[in-house]
Amino acid sequence: MRNKKIKKISFIAALIVAVTIIISGFTRDQKLFQLNKNLDIYYSVIRELNSFYVDGIKPEKLIKTSIDDMLSTLDPYTTYIPESEMDNFKFMTDGEYAGIGAIIGKHDNNIIISEPYEGLPAQKAGLKAGDILKKIDGKSTENMTTEQVSNYLKGKPDEIVQIKIQRPGNKKPLNFKITREKVQLNPVPYEGMLKNNTGYIYLSNFWKGCGDEVKNIVIDLKKQGAKRLILDLRSNPGGLLNEAVKIVNIFVPKGSEVVNTRGKMKQWNSDYKATENPIDTIMPLAVLVNRGSASASEIVSGSLQDQDRAVIIGSRTFGKGLVQTTRDLGYESKLKVTTAKYYIPSGRCIQALDYTHRNEDGSVGNIPDSLISEFKTGKGRIVYDGGGIIPDIKMESLTMSTLGINLDQKFMCFDFATQYAISHKSIPSPDDFEITDEIYNEFRNFLKQKNFSYKTVSEDVLEKMVEIAKKEKRYNNAKNEFSRLKEKITPNLDKDLNENKNEIKKLLTNEIVSRYYYQKGAIKATLKKDKTVDKALNILSNTDTLSSVFASGTIIKMKKEIN
């Protein structure tokens, strides 16, 4: 009851402030009066609660809750960052922190090492994926959250952290002394040469410095004989706008428009152009995207598409056309606030969701079809705004099967890879390693030994239908039909393993190869059977096909198909 009261009070206070800020039709003085009036009321509410609430309050928690509730009425990118979260914020923008260099996760109520990064303290000390973290500096991890364990593993560079782990396959626990280091994650976890003299770059994030990193890699790949290039931005969530501009600049002439931003205040209106001499403006270039490609990824892919510089291959991108700026609030806290929208060279904004005009229930809908406009690329190809970047060459959007999702969520592939690594000291190189039928059958038996089972969404729906039918006293009339339907939709593990064999083999390849060759090796292994990469290789090698992509008048996506 107490929590409900506090939440209700904070929500009301936040709502008052939010509504006041967006009121239109007032003069500047009237708006300022309304703002000051409601801020004074808000302060009074907190003061009165602190003085008289029966059980006492935690002002910091109460105020943060009210701020978060207020900002949630705007968009998901406008957020309050207290001092306690500044390290995480810095990591999200720079890919930098001080720690041991490992991803951790929770599995069977244990905190485990999910992946040690190659060349960083955890891997150099000998920690392995699957290790269970038991103690950190003498503190038991039992009942700790992953966030708490992560905070204990982080610290100042050159400090020693003592870790006790239990390794699968070992009876006795192992102790490690690991020296924390300043960790700068590489935004390009893999680059290399593919067939047909094609260079390949996988960019995972737009962290600080990634523009120069990609530039140097392009130069190096050209020295290795690259005549074509694939830039993989699939599942890249974006990051720093300036880094996106630098990457576009690698491929377009100096002075070319890359992107411009337009906001409420003139200070947020900026035109971003290529300011340096490019590395290569004629090399055939493909950019790979998918639904997880967002923000800066869409600036790069969209700008190169608008300038007819690259063929975009994959599935439609996320559709985030909003720009955020951080503002200092004092006491080491910040406000990350949406200050502008960005527009790529054709003049379009690719924002997909309309946060300004919410539905009556508060939900957010897509930009309405009536507001979607037609634009043209430099060569006259027709493109549209309001729905992400539509690829020139569309590939089927890959969705994981229900079986694959359950195997991932229940750590089945992860645990099998851990067990496999215990019994196999080495495996072939990532180029040569394959999940043979023998290995796949081992995995099949492993699942049965673990008594693995799972439910489909259709099973859940059927169970709810049965419950409703019983309440309505209609179940007995349709009992036989329900039973037959249940029999048809109940998972058959052997059957599903056969039907989803290629997908599961890919999951197993990623997990097993990463045990021996880490992230770089896992990416290299999965590229061998990547249909989107194969498509890019074929298009870049066929001059006629590539030319047809950029033909004047081409309609990249019909307007009516964007919904």
The residues assigned a catalytic role are: 295, 320
Sequence-ordered list of residues with C-beta below 8 angstroms from that of 394, at least 6 positions apart, any chain: 314, 315
Sequence-ordered list of residues with C-beta below 8 angstroms from that of 168, at least 6 positions apart, any chain: 130, 131, 132, 418, 419, 422
- Among the listed residues 307, 301, 337, the one whose alpha carbon sits nearest the alpha carbon of residue 322: 337
What is the C-alpha to C-alpha distance for residues 394 and 311, in angstroms, rounded to an integer?
11
Angle at the Cα of 310 from the Cα atoms of 540 and 251, rounded to 5 degrees: 110
CA-based R_g, the chain, Å = 27
164 within 8 A of 150, measured Cβ to Cβ: no
Helix axes 402-409, 412-423, angle to 10 degrees: 60
Helix axes 412-423, 437-449, angle to 10 degrees: 120
What is the C-alpha to C-alpha distance for residues 76 and 89, in angstroms, rounded to an integer?
15
Cα-Cα-Cα-Cα torsion 151, 156, 162, 164, nearest 10 degrees, comes to 30
How many other C-beta atoms lie within 10 A of the C-beta of residue 362? 8
489 within 8 A of 461, measured Cβ to Cβ: no
561 within 8 A of 388, measured Cβ to Cβ: no
Give CA separation, 65 vs 41, 60, 331, 337, 405, in Å: 17, 9, 18, 17, 33
What is the C-alpha to C-alpha distance for residues 305 and 318, in angstroms, rounded to an integer?
16
- 95: DSSP letter: -
Q: Within 13 Å, how many C-alpha atoms sit on residue 60's CB side?
A: 6
356 within 8 A of 345, measured Cβ to Cβ: no
